[in-house]
Amino acid sequence: MTIATEERQVERSAHTPEQFWDSARRHLIRYGPAGFIPAIIERAEGCFIYDENGRAILDFTSGQMSSLLGHAHPAVVDTVSKSIATLDHLFSGMLSRPVVDLAEALSRTLPEALSKTMILSTGGESNEAAIKLAKLYTQKHEIVSFDQSYHGSTHAAGAATYSLSRAGYGPLAPGNYIIPTPNPYRSVFRDSEGGHDWQAELDFGFAMVDRQSTGSLAAFIAEPILGTGGLIVPPDGYFAALRKKLDERGMLLIIDEAQTGMCRTGDWYAFQHQGVVPDILTLSKTLGAGLPVSAVVTTEEIEAVCSARRFMFTTTHVSDPLAAAVGLTVVQTLEEGQFDATARRLGERLRQGLSDLESRHDRIGDVRGRGLFQGIELVMDRDAKEPADDFGTAVTAACFERGLHLNIAQMPGVNSILRIAPPLTISEAELDTGLAILDESLTVARMHT
């Protein structure tokens, strides 16, 4: 590097805030309706991020729901430092020890049937691969998902996503259908006593699917707890009944644990709570603890059949050793620290705190979630259940002003649902601090809306 180049880099890094935002406006593509959060983030450590003024901001979203072990976890830093200096990227046909070791480590945490793994980079990518596996194995092409699903932005994953608008992008992959999301708080399917009749809802959904299908139903892809769609927890027993519907039609079950996997909900995997084993499991976000690492895990039978049919998914970064080394470190750290138990313990404290807020703030209509993946739904009136979207926007802004980042889905129409997913390394005191800020922000926002 020349002296002139070094001087130019120093000059660029010395931008004033005004120059920074002017440069951002001139050079960056905007990719979200809410725009960028008005802060220049300089560093992150533990459960906090720090802006250019050194202000600490408690991170209740784990970055993009990904920094499971907090920011700059020593074990992850050490792994990245060593791996980048020794073995970073390889031709996709080559194997390294971290890849095999991660596949073996994941198998230790999973039901015996899920024994075959593929290491990729992103959640959308892992869902693309899972859908291709399902289509190749079943020799069918139709995919069913929930009407509040989110599985990614790429071709097949985006076609199976319904929580975001599809307007303006033209045709999607054919053969995609939906059934109603089993939302106990808002479902119109009610029994004679007013309870959520999820079985009738499921029956209705598949009756509609059967009417639309051309007889080529391949798989159902689902989040065990829907994240972007509103932190919706399907009722106990739902997935067993869903599995029965799939078996009757010769369909596979793909479970997308991007946000819920790796101990986040108090179990290693959220599907374990429902007692149903998927045919294909996808992992991302939490597997890399903030770095781009994802995985597809399936059975020996599905892998063998697809291999014989020449399954092809050779991305540039498939089986990259650096990504695998990071994933392996995450799995080992979770095992050694028994973080599933940690998430259960802290999850109880979080639920108690949110329930206390519910008792004192009448705009909180519902508290839901498990472990360190919980949230609240804000309403204008508890009886009418009208979503309080503008109020949610105000609460989110008030929290940020007071040093708390939460509510990752900051988009019109879903701001009434505040999603909370702090790192599993958060302390009880930090958790209580976040709840106190949320309490104050609810009060302040109510005074002004």
* pLDDT score of 303 more than 80: yes
3-state class (DSSP) for residue 141:
coil
Residues 44 and 85 both lie in one domain? no
Domain for residue 7, yes or no? no
DSSP reduced 3-state for 127 = helix
Residue 312 corresponds to which amino acid? M
pLDDT at residue 13, as a whole number = 61
Residue 417: give the domain boundaries: 33-65+339-448
Is pLDDT above 50 for 108?
Answer: yes
**Contact (Cβ atoms closer than 8 angstroms) between residue 143 and residue 159:** yes
Per-residue pLDDT band for 164 (boundaries 50, 70, 90) equals confident
Q: Nearest to residue 328, comparing CAs of 276, 381, 374, 262?
A: 262
Q: Domain ends where: 287, 303, 337?
A: 337
Return mean pLDDT, the chain.
94
305 and 360, same structural domain?
no
Do 127 and 238 lie in one domain? The reply is: yes
End-to-end CA separation in angstroms for the chain: 55
Query: Which residues face 404 on adjacent strands?
Result: 58
Distance separating alpha carbons of residues 31 and 267, to the nearest angstrom? 33
Residue 1 Cα distances to 13, 75, 84, 158, angstroms: 16, 31, 20, 42
DSSP code of residue 93:
T
Separation in Å, CA 34 to CA 211, 408, 409? 38, 11, 9
Report strand pairing: 176-179 vs 56-59: unpaired
Residues 95 and 117 in one domain: yes
The count of structural domains within the chain is 2
* pLDDT for 338 beyond 60: yes
In a domain, 151, yes or no: yes
279/253 Cα distance (integer angstroms): 5
Q: Cite the DSSP H helix spans in 17-143.
A: 17-27, 62-65, 74-86, 97-109, 123-138
Query: What CA–CA distance (Å, rounded) separates 166 from 172?
Result: 9
1 has a pLDDT exceeding 70: no
pLDDT at position 411: 66
Chain-centroid distance, C-alpha 296: 15
Check: CB of residue 146 under 8 Å from CB of residue 315: no
Structural domain includes residue 2: no
Residue 382, phi then psi, degrees to nearest 5: -65, -30
Do 46 and 136 share a domain, yes or no? no
Question: Domain check: are 102 and 183 in the same one?
Answer: yes
- pLDDT tens profile 421-443: 999 999 999 999 999 999 999 99
Question: Could you say which of 275, 308, 337 is where a domain stops?
Answer: 337
Which pLDDT tens digit goes with each residue over 380-396? 999 999 999 999 999 99
Residue 213: name the closest of 201, 205, 224 by CA. Answer: 205
- Residues 56, 82 share a domain: no
Contact 354, 367 (CB under 8 A): yes
pLDDT tens readout for residues 223-254: 999 999 999 999 999 999 999 999 999 999 99
Helical spans, DSSP H, in 110-237 = 123-138, 155-159, 198-212
Distance CA 160, CA 162 (A): 7
What CATH number corresponds to the domain at position 395?
3.90.1150.10
pLDDT reading at 218 higher than 60: yes
Pairing of strands 56-59, 404-405: parallel
Query: Are 164 and 230 part of one and the same domain?
Result: yes
Distance CA 155, CA 342 (A): 37
Alpha-carbon separation of residue 444 from 93, 205, 393 (angstroms)? 57, 42, 12
Least confident of 8-22, 131-145, 390-404: 8-22
Rounded alpha-carbon distances, angstroms, from residue 108 to 101, 113, 239, 331, 335 = 11, 11, 23, 10, 10
- Residue 88 maps to which CATH number? 3.40.640.10
